[in-house]
Amino acid sequence: MKKLQDAIGYHFQDEALLKNAMTHSSYANEKGSGQSNERLEFLGDSVLGFVTADYLYHKMKDEPEGELTKRRAAEVCEKSLHKFALSISLGDYLLLGKGEQHTGGRERPSILADAFESLIAAIYLDGGIEPARAFILRFLRDEDFSAEPVTDYKTMLQEIIQKNPEEHLDYVLVSESGPAHDRRFEVEVHLNSNVIGKGLGKSKKKAEQQAAKEALKLMGIQEV
């Protein structure tokens, strides 16, 4: 773990947090004890979103809210987080079950993206928001913000629905299947109590994007 701490430029007071961040559910389940990094992933996602929003707000001073939202979504998507994780060889430090190790888990985008968010949360819990911010900005400052962001269907759908304050969107995980190294997630997007889209993916985030895309198609949105 010392080598990883050197690579990320942060040294933990509580190294148990770092170990937890690197513990995939397949390893925790195989050992029958300990906690996976899923709770840390949940927290890290929020910390990443906040720091990214704050950075973009000050960097892109002439951009409207809609453009800032799209850019933030592009920077926190699985593709970007996978790239960030690869740049610090994060997969080399993951604790994986034997099945995941033998089927390329150390390079799998969804696993690396989740581990990157978990690492952010571990830094935040160990040292507070400023070390977490400094870590995240290492990656954001290298990004090309002149490039067109990737399409984010969830953001597109949210922008349409929020025009009617009484409407409420919710993404519901319907099923999760397959072995640990090849999970499949099915998600529905609900508008109030009505299902307006369904999606499948190898991660919950991808399934949610597909559900949002289907909903937009049903609404006749041309961009999708």
Q: Which residues are catalytic?
A: 45, 117
Closest CA relative to residue 155, chosen from 70, 36, 57: 70
CA 31 to chain centre: 26
Inter-residue contact 91 to 177 (CB < 8 Å) = no
* CA-derived radius of gyration, the chain: 18
Inter-residue contact 39 to 32 (CB < 8 Å) = no
- The two three-digit tokens of residue 29, written as one number: 């389940």
- The two three-digit tokens of residue 28, written as one number: 């925790």
**Cβ partners under 8 Å of residue 203, min gap 6:** 78, 110, 113, 114, 183, 185
Closest CA relative to residue 127, chosen from 31, 26, 47, 64: 47
Q: What is d(CA 156, CA 89) in angstroms, rounded to the nearest whole number? A: 33
